[in-house]
Structure formats: structure tokens, C-alpha cells
Structure 1
């Protein structure tokens, strides 16, 4: 059961399923006209007419933070040409004297030839994705970029190598992921809310005071400290998915310190939690429709060959069947409706997973749930030995701190179900109930929805994919319209994010910006 939908790149999922990267052609034609940012979403939810704007922090370093900004890192070799270190930051920026948090940092020095351009920090999203693991294994690192930049990463506070949030044992997490997320009775609603409560209690007991200090604003302040410690006057940053919210937040807090910043698969900070969830639901519906259009053209499509609507109805029927009779997987765990839904959602992050998704859906219809379970495990970052990364713990910890909850009671979810079902007949109910998780969180939120303008920042490149499931294209358009110095680069294609996923046009445009500062023309579209 996904407590909230991850906003991260598909790199880890693709690596786990060993998919080949296919090429995409570039072009300059305009994509189909998309819904533009406004007061009403595609699903009928209302956006706030006006939100507060994130205000920049003072340019001078506060006296209480000078020792942190002046610290010297002790680097050591940590394999494959990387160096690792630990950076100290205040747990509570309002009371830096109250104690430290230790943050893991990694880098690979510029290889040359060519003059060094400084450090280039990367973040894969999540929230909760390990930036260090992403840098070492998956991050797009063309030789031309590696030659000129020190590639660097820091796991945000509460994530993986940086004092990770912990919540449940592995066995408890197994049971949690299997919980029915489309309850059909009061008893099942009670079981779901109990699971959310127990999850939150586990986080409170295992992670304590850290839960109050893992917000995006605090992570952005940590990034500025790292910028100074690395000796850079400006922050150069390539981020994907949730990482775009982290980067935009940095730009809003420190506009004069923005260097070259790429925000790929952008979020819209103006949206409250409920609207964010509805629009992401619509995004996954768009991605499923694209998959279904491709599938029904094939004789062996497990969802039939009639129409995308019929394909959706067949998928819903499969979920209903699994709800009543979970499928065998060849191990102790069975494929439940919840795990199957997560497996399908995971595959929609990247169209290169479509062939396997077709195979695994066919297997599930025949009573073999092993393939969809593997997809679900990849989404949850569950290892074959049954252990989980802390991604699913850090994810709600950050989300529930950044925004007030989408819903505060099951009654509110029921009232909103029609809007979610309209956004996606297949996934709407699942997403609506998943958005209830923050209602039981043990720490009150510290953030609210807001605009980010970052007036005075250097040019920022915002990248959006037209059929992105996790970060819908309308979010990229919205963020680009907010940031005073942003240019929108569009990838007319499928899947989550665009950089390093096969489009020569996208990659060349971003690399030229990173290497030469060349900003593409407005409204540039790649295929």
C-alpha cells in the first residue's frame, strides 16, 4: 500500500527490472494542447486563487550558523573514484545551539579536459530517494559533464545515509503494503485507518524528534551550507521529480546564489495536498491511457483489443478479482489487489516497462502474480531478502511536514471519491484513500502551499514531459510561469522525467545549458 505516490525518477525501477533504453527522435513540433495552469483542474478540484510567495532568506550568514558554513569536510575514498564525507548541520535552524544532524555527502572530482565549472549537485526526488546512490549508479553523467564539474550529492536529512527515518520492521512493512486500499466496508475502512495509525506510531517511536525536522525548507538550507563548504559561490543543481520542489525552494530562499539549475519533472508548489493528489491521479490515468492505446493494437494484449475504456474496465476487473482471491506468487506472499495496483503504477513510470507489464498482466489474469509482485517490490525498494530501504518512511515524513493533510477523516475521503474517480476510473479510489495517511501523522505540518518566484535568480531550466504520470505536464508549465527566470523545455513523450531517457534533443539542450549557460528558445519541444 503506497502511503503516498513517490515523486522520483524511474532509474531504480528500470535497473531492478533490467530494461533496455530505447532511442527517441527529436523534433520541434508542438505537443497536443495541454490544460494550462488556472483555478480549475482537469478533475474539477479548485486551486487556491492566490497563495503566499516564498520569501528569500537574508544574504548574510547568521552568526549562529557561521561555524557550520566554515566547517571543513574530511574526505575519504569510498569506491569507484568517489569520495565521501559527513557534514554537520543544525537539527533545528531556529535553535542551532540545540544539536546537530549528520548528513552524508559524496563527490567525484572533475576529470577534465576543460576548465572546472564548480560542483554539480544532483537529487533524484522521492522525497526519500538517496541522492548518493543515484549519483553513484543511475544519474545521467555524460562524459562532457563529468569533465567539467565535480559531481556531488547529499542525502537529505532523514534519508538513507543521513540519519534515516525508521518506522516499521520488515515483516510489519510487508503487512502494511498488503493492506486493502480500496475498502468496501466499514470494517475494511477501520483496518486501513488502523494501518495508517500504526505506521505513524512506528515512525514516532523509532525516529523521535527527527520527524519534526525533515522539511523541504530545512533540506534546502542544508544544500546552501554544502554549497559554501564545497567552496562554490553559486549552486549548480540537476534535480528530478520531487527534487524540483527542493531546487525551486532553494531558488526561492537564495535567489542570488542560483547557478545553473535543471528542474526535470517539475512540481507545482502552489497546490495544496488534495489538489496535488487529484492532479497526480489524472497524470497516472493519462499514462495508463497511453499504455492501453499501445496495448490494444497488439493481438496478445491482456486487456483486450477493443478500446482504452474497455482496457481500463478489464484492469479494474482484475483488481476486483485479486481483492477476493489474491494470486499465488511462488513464495509465502500473495499478490493482493493493493500490491497489484502498486505494481501497475510502478510500470507506468517508464514506457520501457510496457512489454513486461503486458506479460505480467497476462500472468496475473492466469493466476500467477509473481511478475506484478516484483514490480511492486521495485516500487517499495524491497530487496529479495525481505528488507526495505527507508524510502517509504522518509516519503510521508517529508510530505506530511510540508503540507497540511489532504483529508482528516474517512468521511472526507468518501465525499471526494467522485472527483478522484473522474480523474481516473481505474486508480482514483486507490489514490483517494492513500491520501488519508497524513491525517494520523504524529507531527504537525510546518509548511503550506505557496508560489515560488525567486526574483533575481540566474536562468533556470524547467523540463516537463507531456504524458508524465507522477508529475503531470501542467505542473512544469505552472512552475515555469512562477519562477521569474525560468524557461520551459518540453518533452513530447511518455514516462516520468526526460533527461537521460533517450531523447538526444533533450539531452543536448540540457548539456549545452550546463556547459555553456545556453538557454533554449522559449516553447522548445523535443520528441
Structure 2
């Protein structure tokens, strides 16, 4: 089942790991000097106010922590645990324990301090990302000069994870029909959202009220102090850009070298975010369809088939699965349903390197009635293991998103009214993504956040990176965020896939490396391909 806000993907040397989230927009061109149309759309959004520079007395013990590093069983990495207040408004209410990991600077060259990394989600494990990719896959010159550090945000992975459903219940949830044909199926979808929310509320009733992005950003400042850094250096992808921008807004004087890759627009309410992300997935699918139609092995049409027809053929296949799922060779007896197939296709939109795998999976499903390939893609998106267990990715994703913003819709009736707009945004995915936007409606905790512009006045230069055909974080969001941040430099990758750093563009990598290593940001509006 699609989570509400943004999908992101982490990379390892051998595979792509789905990190999840969902729903948001399309692309446009230009530098941050021309973002008025995007930023101005939500002009009523207030600006995030910075916190006082002085540390409140009740928080000083947290800031005075000294990490006790230990071996964490992964060669080259150390781990520790730090504490943060459960409730910053009432530090006496108890603590949350944050899992932190690092790979120390390897040299040569003078150490530049710590570089925190976050892969997005929300719900993606930063510690896993560090140990599987960033700590070994970031450019050697960056790893030589920085301790690469990750902290799992509160409620995520190793940091007191939120849990909602067991494996079998999660299997049922992910197979729920997201394109209801009648009121009975609508009722089943609402019941699935209710059951999911109730499971989360029962697991962590107190923590669920304190997993917001603002609280996670405040936790990062405690980590910064514990590491002994005067300023925070940070590379965040997808949702990680929202986390990093929020930090800059709260602590502009402590923001060091910040790279926000695959930017979110914090000024937009949930419904607008979801609609624009729907457009973004349509943009990415159009790029895939154009590529597929140039090939003789495209399962969605003969060579030269118009893009619109490719999309209609995929939609027709989804409709067939809605009526009659197909076998998937699954040990637990799962079949490939419309919802799982749609998730599999969406998962492949994050990286053009997965397009071949998607073509093969679609060929097997459409021509041979073998859904195993699409089920594998869907399972990677949900982080479902071979033993039927799930990571807490989707649980944390909903917990953070539903606390950060009021729900996109108040009722199924509102979704029905919005369907034409979503289906116009994406004829292939619009209906399902509209209904997926209903998940926070039944959340057991009211949202504490709201859409806010982030200006971070007084912060050092912040590099905002946008990819023109990014499916999950549309390029317009990068333009909008760079227009909000007072010191932003917009760096554009003219290409496909989600995020840009470390994905094959020498131009992008060189610009970001120069900023991280020498403090030299790219010229505002610089474009790479």
C-alpha cells in the first residue's frame, strides 16, 4: 500500500533498495531566480521561525553527551547510542534513544569534521544506508576528509522503531485494492487504513506523538554537539532534504555545508504535494514509455507505439489484474494483484537502470502469466524479506508524514471528487494515488505540523539539487525550495531517476564534491546532464 508522501531509493554497489514514501509532481525548467510561480502558489504558508541560539538549561545534559563508540559488527564502522528528549516542550517526560553510526575519515588530508547523511523516506534507515553505501560508495576524497555519520531518526529502524502490523497482516494490507469499484471496496480500503493506524497507535502511543521532522531535526543538533562539530555538514536525499532544510531553518547559524538532493517543497499542503507527485510519476512513466516504445522487446506495444497507447495498455493490464490476479510463485501463496503490480512499476521509476528489469517483469506477467518479477519489485519497495517479515519503513513513513501535515482528504467523498484531477495528472497512476492519499485520515494522532516556507536567513550557502524527470520529488520542488532558502544555489540534473548525486553524472558529482571539500558552491542555476 502506497505511503503518503515521498519515495526515495538508497543504492548499494549491487542492488537498489526501495526506501519508500509517496505522492508528489512534474518538471519545469529554469534557475532559482524564476521560482516565483512555484513558491508563490502557497504564499499563505508562514515561514519556519528559527530557535533561540542559546541552549535551554533543561536540554544542556543532552548537548553535553559524549559518545562511547563501539564496534558494531560491520568492518570499518563504529556505533553508539545517544539520548534526546521525547518531548522538547517537556524534557522531563522521558527520552528516546538514537542509534548512531560512523566511518571515520580515512585520510589523507586534513579532517573536515563530520558529514551526516540521510537517504530519505521518511523511514529509511540512515545507519543501513551508511554501512551499505555511503560509507564505502561516497567519493574517496570525501570519505578521506570527513567522518561519515548516520543517525536513524526517532521511530525509524534502530531508533525505537514504530511497529504496526506483523508480516501476514502487512501482506494483506499491501494487497488491498487501491482502485475501489464500488462502496463495498471503498469500505474495505477504509478498514485497511483504520487497521493499520490502530496497529501503530497500539504499539507506540507516546512515541507516535513525537516523531515529527522538526523533532528529528532538533535531534540532529544534539548529535552535532555530541560529535564536537561547530556546524552541521549534511547530505540528504528526498525526504532527507526536508529534514536538512528544517535543520537550516531552525539553526541557520549552525548550518554548515548542506546538500539537499531531490528536494521537497515544505510550503505545500498534503493534497497539493500528493497531486504534484502524481504528475511526477506520470512524467517518469512517460520517459520509460518513450524508451520502451523504441525497443522491439517492449511488452506494452510494438516498436513505435505512441506513448499514450503504451500507458493505456499498462492501465488495461492493471484492470485485468483487478478482476483476476495471476500466480507469482510466492512461497506464502500471494498472487500478483493490481495493487502489487502497480507498486512494482512505481518502484522501477526511481532509477532508469531498473527499466530493463521492469520490461522483463511485465513481459513475464503479461505474456506468460508469471507475476514473480513484478512481485519482487513490489517487495523491494516495501522492504519485505524472504521470510515474510517487513522492515519498519512503511510504519515510520506513515507515522512521520501523518504528524507533519494534516491529511490530504477528510473522507472518501473528498477523494471521489478529486479523482478527475488526479487522473488528469496521471492516467496510469492517478486513481490509485488519490485513494492512497486517504491513509492519514484515520491516523490516531492529530498532526502537529503544517506547511511552512523555510528561509533560513543567515545560513551559509545551501546546495539544492533537482532532477528534471524525477518521479518522486518533482523538479519544480527543487526550484521552489531554492527560491525559499535565502542562501540556496540550485543545481540541476537534466535526466531521469530519483536524485542525482552518485548516480553517474560527473558534472553533478564534481560540483557537489567541490562544495563539500572546499566550501565552493556551484553557481546558482548550474545545469548538468
TM-score computed with the length of structure 2 as normaliser = 0.94
Name which of structure 1's ranges 309-318 and 326-335 shifts more when overlaid on structure 2.
326-335
Maintained 8 Å contact 1:39/1:48:
no
SS at match of 2:49: coil
Maintained 8 Å contact 1:251/1:457:
yes
Partner of 1:27: none
Which of 265, 269, 279 lines up with 1:268 in the alignment?
A: 265
1:134-149 matched pairs, under 5 angstroms? 134-139=129-134, 140-149=137-146
Partner of 1:475: 477
SS at match of 2:205: helix
- The CA RMSD measured in Å over matched residues stands at 1.8
Maintained 8 Å contact 1:182/1:433:
yes
Tell me the distance in 1 between the aligned counterparts of 2:66 and 2:38. 50
Partner of 2:22: none
Partner of 1:9: 9
The structural deviation recorded for 1:71 is 1.2
Partner of 2:306: 307
1:91-130 matched pairs, under 5 angstroms? 91-130=86-125
* Superimposed CA distance per residue, residues 217-270 of structure 1 (whole angstroms, 9 cap, x where no aligned partner): 000000000000100000000000000000000000000001100000000000
SS at match of 2:335: coil
SS at match of 1:284: helix
Residue 203 in structure 1 maps to residue 203 in structure 2: no
Partner of 2:393: 391
Maintained 8 Å contact 2:10/2:119:
no
1:82-481 matched pairs, under 5 angstroms? 82-139=77-134, 140-305=137-302, 306-331=305-330, 332-366=333-367, 367-481=369-483
Maintained 8 Å contact 2:142/2:513:
yes
Partner of 2:46: 52
Tell me the distance in 1 between the aligned counterparts of 2:55 and 2:175. 48
The structural deviation recorded for 1:48 is 2.7
SS at match of 1:478: helix
Maintained 8 Å contact 1:251/1:258:
yes
The structural deviation recorded for 1:50 is 2.1
Give the gaps of 5 or more residues in structure 1.
Answer: 19-29
The structural deviation recorded for 1:520 is 1.1
SS at match of 1:125: coil
The structural deviation recorded for 1:15 is 1.4
Tell me the distance in 2 between the aligned counterparts of 1:203 and 1:237. 30
Tell me the distance in 2 between the aligned counterparts of 1:241 and 1:7. 7
SS at match of 2:481: helix
Tell me the distance in 2 between the aligned counterparts of 1:219 and 1:206. 20
Partner of 1:21: none
The structural deviation recorded for 1:47 is 3.8
Name which of structure 1's ranges 343-352 and 200-209 shifts more when overlaid on structure 2.
200-209
Tell me the distance in 1 between the aligned counterparts of 2:5 and 2:323. 24
* Superimposed CA distance per residue, residues 329-360 of structure 1 (whole angstroms, 9 cap, x where no aligned partner): 11210000000000000000000000111111
Maintained 8 Å contact 1:31/1:492:
no
The structural deviation recorded for 1:519 is 1.2
Maintained 8 Å contact 1:10/1:496:
no
- Go from structure 1 to structure 2 and tell me whether the alpha carbon gap of 1:13 and 1:395 turns closer, same or farther (over 3 Å shift): farther
SS at match of 1:59: coil
The structural deviation recorded for 1:81 is 1.1
SS at match of 2:243: helix
Maintained 8 Å contact 1:13/1:378:
no
- Go from structure 1 to structure 2 and tell me whether the alpha carbon gap of 1:197 and 1:17 turns closer, same or farther (over 3 Å shift): closer
- Go from structure 1 to structure 2 and tell me whether the alpha carbon gap of 1:111 and 1:382 turns closer, same or farther (over 3 Å shift): same
Maintained 8 Å contact 2:31/2:479:
no
Which of 76, 81, 92 lines up with 1:81 in the alignment?
A: 76
Maintained 8 Å contact 1:13/1:346:
no
- Go from structure 1 to structure 2 and tell me whether the alpha carbon gap of 1:300 and 1:264 turns closer, same or farther (over 3 Å shift): same
- Go from structure 1 to structure 2 and tell me whether the alpha carbon gap of 1:431 and 1:14 turns closer, same or farther (over 3 Å shift): farther
Tell me the distance in 2 between the aligned counterparts of 1:32 and 1:172. 44
Residue 62 in structure 1 maps to residue 56 in structure 2: yes
TM-score computed with the length of structure 1 as normaliser = 0.95
Aligned length in residues: 512
Maintained 8 Å contact 2:8/2:350:
no
